[in-house]
Chain A
C-alpha cells in the first residue's frame, strides 16, 4: 500500500497526528513536578500550601473548560449550565467528606460515656451536628448513602450524568437549538441553585457544605493532602485532555463539528443528530462533575452561590478567551483567566493611583475582564489559542483569496453580512 492518497494521515499514531496532546501532557507533567519540588510537603517550601490549592483548583477549572470546549466549541451547544454539573459533583463528594468527618468527631465525643454509643446515637449525633445550622436534626433521604465513599463517588458521575441525560433528551428531541437552548440551560442552573438555597433542600441551604478540606481517615497535615488533590487534579486534567483529543480526532469529531456548522445537513446524511448531541452533553456533564469533585475539597466549602448562572457564563468566557474549537485553547483560557482573577481579587495586585481616582483591582477586575472579552471577540475571534496557532504556524491551506471561514463566529458574521 503506497501513500499515494493524502488521506493516509489516518494511519499515523494518534499522538503524532495531535502534537498538542504530547505538548499539553508533557507541560502538565513538568508543571506537576516543579510544583511538587517547590511544595511545603515534598520540596523546598517555596510554594505555600494555599497556593498549591489555588493551582490545583485551577487545574480543575481547566478540566471543566475542556468539557465546555467539547460541548460548545466542537458541538456548538452553548450550554450555560455546565458549572451546575461541576457543583453537583462537588456536593456529591462533599456529602461524604462532611459525613465521615462529623462521624469521627461524634464518635470521639461519645467515647467518654460509660456505655458505648449505639449506632442510632451516633447517627443522631451526626445529623444534629450537620443540620443544626438549618434547624434540623434528621437526615434527609438524599443523605442515605453519604456514609459510603464508593456510592458517593458513583454519585459524582451519576448525578450530573443523569441530569444531563434527561435534560438533554427533552431539549434536543424538541429541537431546541441556539440561543433558546442556552436560555433553557441557564434556567435549569438557576432553578437548581435556587432550590439548593432553601434550607429544606437537604443540603444545608445557603450554608452549603464546609470543612471539605479535611480528609477523614488520615492524620496527614494540609500541606500533604493538598498535594494529593493537586496530583489527582493534574492526572484528571491529563486523562481528560487525552480523552477529549481522542474523541475529536476521529470521525466522531468530524460529525460533531458538522453538527455545529449545519445540523440539518448532518441529519440528511443519516446521522441521528440528537443522539450525538446527547452523548456529548452527557459526557461533558460527567467530566464537569469529576472536576467539581476534585475542586471543592481544595476549596474547602461549597454553597449554592457557586452554582449560580454567572459561574457557567464565566466558563464560556474562559473558553472564548482561550479560543473555541481547540482543546489547548480552553486549557490556556481557563488557566490564564482563573489565575489572573485570583491575583487581582486576592489583594496582591497593587492599586493604580490615577491622581483623582485610585483603581482598586478588586472592584475593577470584572470590568477589565469584560473589556478583554469584548476585545478578543472583536479582534481575535480565535482567542489565545489562535495566537498559539500563529506562533507554531499550524498548517493552513491556502484560501486562494477566499473569505475567512475558520470559526463558527466568522461564519455567523458572514451570514449576517449576506
Chain B
C-alpha cells in the first residue's frame, strides 16, 4: 500500500443531514494537497473523521503501511499515531509562553506519569528554539502566547504541529486573516513541511491555493467533485457551477 491515509466509502449523517456522502480520499507519504469546496461541503467534517472527533456511519479509514484502521482509536491515540491538526481559529494556550506551547507539543511520551517527571534537556530546549526560529518567533519565546498577533498565533500553532513531528498534517484555513507577507511565509512553511510528510490544506482562498501549487481536491455536498491540478479543476464545468460560478 503506497498511500499514507486512505479514506474509502465514508458516510456520516447528523440528524438526517448527510454531511459526508460516500467520500473517498487518499494521500501519499510526502504530498501537499489542497481541499477546497463551498461552505457545507464537508471539509471540516472530513477532518473530524480523520482525527477521530466524529465517527462515520459507514466506510473505512486506513493508515500507514500496514493499513490500520483509525476508526477505533481515540483522538489522543490518533494524534500519537502521527496525525496533527490545525484548527481554523488559532488555538494556542494563551496563558502560557511561546516556549511552553512548543515544549507541550514536542514529540515525547504523553502519559501522565512520564509527563510528571519530565524535565527538558538542553537538546529539547535547542529544538524548541530551533522551531521558534523556523516560525519567526525566536525573539518571542518568553512572551505569553496570548500577547501575539493573530498571524503569529497561526504560526505558533503551525510550529506546535511541526514539533509533534506528525506524518500527516491537516491544516484548516491557515491563511485566514493574514496579511500578504504573512501568507507568503505560511506558504513557504507548508511547502517545506510537505517535503517530508503529507500535508492537507483546507482553504477557501483560491489565490492561496494557487500559490501552494499542488494537487487539488474539490468537495461538494460531502463527496469528491473533482481532483487534479488547480488549472484542471478550475476548468471543470461542475466545479465552476457549484463553487466558482457563484
CA of A405 to CA of B147 in the docked complex: distance in angstroms? 9
Interface contact A397-B110, CB-CB below 8 Å: no
Q: Is A269 an interface residue (CB 8 A)?
A: yes
Number of interface residues of A (CB under 8 A): 37
CA of A251 to CA of B84 in the docked complex: distance in angstroms? 20
Interface contact A6-B142, CB-CB below 8 Å: yes
B29 to chain A, nearest CB (A): 20
Q: Is B118 an interface residue (CB 8 A)?
A: yes
Complex partner residue of B103 from A254, A272, A276, A402, CB under 8 angstroms: A254
Q: Which residues of A contact B75 (CB under 8 A)?
A: 264, 267-268
Q: Is B244 an interface residue (CB 8 A)?
A: no
Interface contact A270-B110, CB-CB below 8 Å: yes
A281 to chain B, nearest CB (A): 12
Q: Is B128 an interface residue (CB 8 A)?
A: yes
From A132-140, A255-263, A375-383, give the one contacting chain B: A255-263
Q: Is A399 an interface residue (CB 8 A)?
A: yes
Q: Which residues of A contact B99 (CB under 8 A)?
A: 6-7
Q: Which residues of B contact A406 (CB under 8 A)?
A: 95
Q: Which residue of A lies closest to B166 (CB)?
A: A270
| Known A273-B76, A397-B142, A402-B147; contact A251-B115, beta-carbon cutoff 8 A | yes
Interface contact A397-B91, CB-CB below 8 Å: no
Q: Is A265 an interface residue (CB 8 A)?
A: yes
Complex partner residue of B76 from A254, A271, A411, CB under 8 angstroms: A271
Q: Is B104 an interface residue (CB 8 A)?
A: yes
Interface contact B112-A261, CB-CB below 8 Å: no
Number of interface residues of B (CB under 8 A): 43
Q: Which residues of B contact A113 (CB under 8 A)?
A: none
Q: Which residues of chain B from 92 to 145 have any CB-CB distance to chain A below 8 Å in the complex?
A: 93-96, 99-100, 103-105, 110-113, 115-116, 118-120, 122, 125-126, 128-129, 141-144
Q: Is B85 an interface residue (CB 8 A)?
A: yes
Q: Which residue of A lies closest to B128 (CB)?
A: A7
Q: Which residues of B contact A247 (CB under 8 A)?
A: 116
Q: Which residue of B lies closest to A14 (CB)?
A: B119
Q: Is A178 an interface residue (CB 8 A)?
A: no
Complex partner residue of A254 from B53, B96, B112, B146, CB under 8 angstroms: B96
Interface contact A261-B94, CB-CB below 8 Å: yes
Complex partner residue of B164 from A270, A279, A411, CB under 8 angstroms: A270
Which of A5, A8, A270, A276 counts the most B-chain CB atoms under 10 A from its CB? A270
Q: Which residues of chain B from 145 to 178 have any CB-CB distance to chain A below 8 Å in the complex?
A: 146-147, 160, 164
Q: Which residues of B contact A272 (CB under 8 A)?
A: 74, 76, 110-112
Q: Is B223 an interface residue (CB 8 A)?
A: no
Q: Which residues of B contact A (CB under 8 A)?
A: 51, 53, 74-77, 79-80, 84-85, 87, 91, 93-96, 99-100, 103-105, 110-113, 115-116, 118-120, 122, 125-126, 128-129, 141-144, 146-147, 160, 164
Q: Which residues of A contact B (CB under 8 A)?
A: 1, 4-8, 10, 247, 250-252, 254-255, 257-258, 261-262, 264-265, 267-273, 275-276, 279, 397-400, 402, 405-406, 411
